[in-house]
Copies of this chain bind each other. A is one copy, B any other.
Amino acid sequence: MAESWSFLDTFESNFRPLVVIELAKGTKKETIEWFTKRIVDKKANGGAQLLVKPLVTEKGEENIYLVGASHLRLLLGAETVGLVKECNDNSMRTFTYSSRKTFRDFADDNHNFLTMAECQYIIKHELENLRAKDEKMIPGYPQAKLYPGKSIVRRLLTSGILVQIFPLHDREELKKLRHSWYGRVKVGYQPLDEIRCYFGETIALYFGFLEYFTFALVPMAVIGIPYYVFAWEDYDKYVMFATFNLLWSTVILEVWKRICAIVTYRWGTLLMKRQFEEPRPGFHGVLGINPVTGREEPVYSSIKRQIRIYLVSLPFVCLCLYFSLYVMMIYFDLEQWALDYHEENESNFSSLMLFVPSIIYAVVIEIMNRIYRYAAEFLTSWENHRLESSYQNHLILKVLVFNFLNCFASLFYIAFVLFDMKLLRQSLATLLITSQILNQFAESLLPYWLQKRHKKRMKKRMSSLKTDTDLTLVEQINLEKEMGTYFGTFDDYLELFLQFGYVSLFSCVYPLAAVFAVLNNITEIYSDALKMCRVYKRPFAEPTANIGVWQLAFETMSVISVVTNCILIGMSPQVNALFPDSKMDLILTVALVEHLLLAIKFIMAFVIPDKPRDIQIKLAKLEFESLEALKQQQMKLAAESLKE
């Protein structure tokens, strides 16, 4: 095969493998030949103009390919994806090849100008944008249809010919990162910029948020401790704590937007233009003309989708919520029954029976969560969203609502139906602490242990016990391709979201929640870091300018917590004692305070600017410059026109 790539020979000397393509075993020769030809073919011929090398393993199998690119190709790719880099004058600008000399640290021989994560992102983008020309199908697989403009890689993936594409780890870099991230005991911030260089912006922003959120919880935790230590139960102290919490949660969410803007400005993603989004791989429909691009692609009526969403998904979700509530009621019945049984018999067995309902309920909830997750994924996929982002948003919404109910419904029931504050505090503590421990175990430590065992076995099989950095490329790839895939930050954010719920929804009943949250998050940072570095395949970098729908989710939670906290305070015996004559006055006062707090929250969210002033000025400056450039151009043209 290599003969036909002769024009690449000049580059071959410095071939640096960036991305691994794993094809299905036994993929037809002609398919491989056609696919690799398309990857290396010139841009002008509709290729991606990348470099490709087969990985020859001991067994002589040829189903793994390494993709790289020349330095020049990567620079041009950086322009195509719209990368934003820092210039010599400290401003951030969209990189263009023609203006490359104005960028900081650029030199024709500096191959570190683009980070490895950026190079891999560029290659992924180029591969995904490799489109069918006049092919009607994938050569060798007549059932895998193609049409002009269809992404070849996506079709290969959906038809199972392509098993996976993943970026390679850089052992050296990873070791450095691990060291500065969690390798030594130190007090200080995470190396966010290094994380971003290695894992990309989405993941770095998650860790940034996790860290910020932990710091933001510290004041709550500090204020919460004396309540626990001195067992304060005074009405005025509770009110103060709750009021502080509610306003504080608004402040931290607003300030996060500003910090996010600062960080993503430095990373360049704040300025990055949104690329035109392609249909997601699973999207299907009859072939039609896309009204935006004018290209032939599957088209699916928006009305049909709306019908599916509102007439099927929405009722289904409501049914699930109802069912979940029903299960909860059964749990409370069981609990009552166990209590009665224990009181009647007072034996060892009966005191053991007291735990049975909780255990059953926990197991049932976990099962329901998993089934629901599958159902939500199936339904959202069946809704047939054209864009990955809208698919994600609908999925997140579905999962969020259900998880919210599952986690908090029992607490709401205890608080607002049973009016049992002691039980509420107890349940809250149990739920919070067990869920944190379970999460950390299931999410990081268990996979890490499994991974370690697997690696040892692999190494033994290779019968040479080397350290990580001494692995040959073949060994490294064989190790990495078997690692788990990191499916994005969804579950990590969900965990934080539920934690925020535990902390804020009932903050005036259990001030210690913030303390546990802080402690958990400190270890969470390390266990998540471990997970990213040791357990999973390296994920592709994904540029992002904010935490997206999660910002909205956290803000909604903080609004709901105003309501719950006001009711809790209103129900407390201390507050009730203040209004001995009239319950009505009490309720009216509580309602008034609640509305005032909500109004203050909204005004604060409105008044605090989303971007700090200096970022605003920098953005305005860029906009002004582009307007001026346009005007200059027009003036030149005008002067010429008027001369004629």
Contacts and interface: CB of A to CB of B under 8 A. Distances in A.
Contacts of A563: 595
Interface in A186-210: none
B641 A97 contact: yes
A583 interface: yes
Contacts of A641: 72, 76, 97
Contacts of A173: none
Interface in A62-92: 72-73, 76, 79-80
Contacts of A637: 76, 79, 97-98
A291 B642 contact: no
Interface string A602-613: 000000000001
B275 A627 contact: yes
A627 B97 CA distance: 17
A617 B291 contact: yes
A617 B275 CA distance: 15
Contacts of A634: 76, 79-80, 96-97
A76 B624 CA distance: 20
Residue among A49, A595, A617, A642 with most chain B CB within 10 A: A642
A240 to B, nearest CB: 23
A302 interface: yes
A617 B44 CA distance: 30
Nearest to A295: B624
A634 B329 CA distance: 63
Interface stretch (A156-164, A261-269, A527-535, A584-592): A584-592
Given A563-B595, A621-B291, A624-B293, A43 B276 contact: no
Interface string A557-595: 000000100000000000000000001100110010001
Nearest to A583: B584
A638 B79 CA distance: 9
Contacts of A617: 291-292
A591 B588 CA distance: 9
Contact of A49 (B292, B584, B642): B642
A417 interface: no
A56 interface: no
A623 interface: yes
A42 interface: yes
Contact of A302 (B98, B595, B613, B638): B613
Given A617-B291, A642-B43, A273 B587 contact: no
Which bracket fits the contact residues of A?
A: 35 or more
Number of copies of this kind of chain in the complex: 2
A584 B617 CA distance: 53
A617 B293 CA distance: 10
A636 to B, nearest CB: 10
A44 B641 CA distance: 12
A311 interface: no
A158 B292 CA distance: 49
A436 B591 CA distance: 35
Interface in A442-457: none
Nearest to A302: B613
A44 B635 CA distance: 8
Nearest to A644: B72
A637 B72 CA distance: 12
A111 interface: no
A38 B298 CA distance: 59
Contacts of A291: 617, 621
A5 to B, nearest CB: 15
A356 interface: no
Nearest to A129: B631
Nearest to A77: B638
Nearest to A559: B602
Interface string A287-328: 000011100000000100000000000000000000000000
A275 to B, nearest CB: 7
A72 B637 CA distance: 12
Across the A-B interface, give the 7 residue pairs with the lowest CB-CB distance, nearest first.
A76-B638, A292-B620, A292-B621, A587-B587, A291-B617, A583-B584, A276-B624
25 contacts: A42-B639, A43-B638, A43-B639, A43-B642, A72-B641, A73-B642, A76-B634, A79-B637, A79-B638, A80-B635, A80-B638, A96-B634, A97-B641, A98-B637, A276-B627, A292-B620, A293-B621, A293-B624, A302-B613, A563-B595, A583-B583, A583-B584, A587-B588, A587-B591, A591-B591
